[in-house]
Structure 1
Amino acid sequence: MSKETGLTDILQKYDEFINLKLKPNLKAVLDSRDEVFNTISEYQKLKSQIELIQKGEHKELKTMVDLGSQFYVQAHVPDTTYIYVNVGFGFHVQFTLDEAKVFIDKKEQRLQSSVDKYTEEADKIRAHIKMVLEAMAEAMDSTK
């Protein structure tokens, strides 16, 4: 086997490693991070709605509720003293509006730490991709 054939095989393996392993891993990590960002956004919306209810001192409320797949129905909330918040794993807990805001703040902090971990992991994967690309460039330069 010639030197060029061996180099071509090595470069092909590097390329496959990037395209079949590193890039899909990076996409999965970034998708997971985006899901957490969406969850944070939902909690922030809920918190702003709670603050609007508190500012307006509404004792009852009419709203639209998404039943899924963009299918909305009108809902009447006769008492805005309490709110049910999805705390995860399909559980909903009854909170006062102030308790809900405290819970949301804590939940956002935990979710932000998840975002930070995903960002750190994505940065490591990007660094690996860069390192492999540099190794490929170096290997090609060494043949010249």
Structure 2
Amino acid sequence: MDDKDAVMAALNDWMEGLDSGDLERMVKTCDPEVVVCNERQPTTVGIQAIRDKYGPRIEANTFRSGFEIEHFKVYGDQALMVGHFTVEFTEKKTGRKGGGAGRLVLTYRKHPDGSWKLLLDIDNNGERNAT
């Protein structure tokens, strides 16, 4: 598997983990120093922050996520991915549906064992192609 395929596999594991409600599958794709900068939320650092953020969300909702790549390049032991995300959710208790879409920048770091882990996640919400 080449580096681009390995990064894509990590991204797909994250999304499949979210969509199936498997938080530990998501966590396994993250660098220990992962930094998450989501719009209108405090910046978080580390694996425990991922658990704290996504655990309650997964407990309360089911998800369906998507990602369309706009730019993707490997720079040595780092990879940069820019694109558009979509997410739909359904509240487990009420059945209420919601979701969002926006732009996303992801940086992955290659580890000594050859695995690629999410290092930086920056998003902004909003409709794609909005004027």
- TM bucket (normalised to shorter chain) is under 0.3
Instruction: Report the structure, 1 or 2, having the larger strand content.
Output: 2
Structure possessing the higher relative contact order (Cα contacts under 8 Å, 6 or more residues apart): 1
Q: Comparing both structures, which one devotes a greater share of its residues to helix?
A: 1
TM-score by length of 2: 0.26
- Which one has the largest radius of gyration? 1
